[in-house]
Amino acid sequence: MNPFNLKRTKMTVKQFSLAWTVFALVGLTSFICKANSQISKGPSDSKNVHQMKNNSPSNGQSNSLGKSHSKSQRKAKTPRTESLAKKWSLKYLARASNTLLVINDHILAKEKAICSLEKKQLRKVQQNLKIIIDEKIASLKPTQVQDIVQMSETCEQSCSCDIFSYYFEKGTEHQHKSYAVLAAHKAQATATEDRLQCAKKFKEFCKSDLMTALKK
């Protein structure tokens, strides 16, 4: 056998062994990198899954919102508010609304209010009055529109233009919108002193059945 050929054979084996060692090292390095990448992703993926679970309806969030919404709907309309709405005219309720606005101004200015109401109690009374006014407007028949129009023509005398404007805004007919604009203009033109005088002329409201109902 030619020694030269034998020498070449031995060199080839060494080269092959070296190449295989390099290949094995590269493969091992790649495996380690992938393993580290999976480990680093693990906590974030787990965190994302945890967040998804927390945001899912199974934790009762959507149910609680639904219950809250349904409660507000039930509170907005009850047989009690419907019966109260039938008891007083829209003009009477509008005068009450003006008086509450004056009382609110007095409380903010830390002055003696017309009716002895605390700030927290006033908010409750105002909310209840709005519910009753909404019920009153909803109960009015189309045949009563002309009467409302006539009362709105002199609404500035009782400082009730705000509520008449509110009523006309809810109307579906085009002519209601023009009445709403007119009443709203009168309401904006009503001075603070005028509102105060209207409230003083309506002092009986403080001890009225309406005030008693609004406090409940």
Q: What is the DSSP string of 54-123?
A: HHSGGGSHHHHHHHHHHHHHHHHS-HHHHHHHHHS-HHHHHHHHHHHHHHHHHHHTT---SS---HHHHH
Question: Can you state the angle between helices 79-87 and 119-139, rounded to 10 degrees?
Answer: 80
Report the alpha-carbon distance of residue 146 to residue 136 in Å, rounded: 16
- Read off the tokens for 4: 């030269």
In this predicted structure, what is the pLDDT of residue 49? 36
Lowest mean pLDDT among 35-44, 122-131, 185-194: 35-44
Break the chain into its structural domains and give their ranges.
3-52, 78-215
8-state DSSP, 49? H
Quickly state the pLDDT bin for 21 (edges 50, 70, 90).
low
State the pTM of this model: 0.62
In this predicted structure, what is the pLDDT of residue 77? 55
Contact 114, 206 (CB under 8 A): yes
- What long-range pairs does 138-145 form, CB within 8 A, spacing at least 24? 138/85, 139/82, 139/85, 139/86, 140/90, 140/167, 145/171, 145/176
pLDDT (average), residues 166-187:
84
pLDDT (average), residues 100-109:
93
Provide the mean pLDDT of the chain: 74
Name which residue leads in pLDDT, 82 or 19: 82
Per-residue pLDDT of 137-156, as tens digits, reads: 999 988 888 899 999 999 99
Name which residue leads in pLDDT, 107 or 174: 107
Per-residue pLDDT of 52-88, as tens digits, reads: 344 443 443 333 333 333 344 444 556 677 778 889 9
pLDDT (average), residues 37-50:
45
In this predicted structure, what is the pLDDT of residue 79? 61
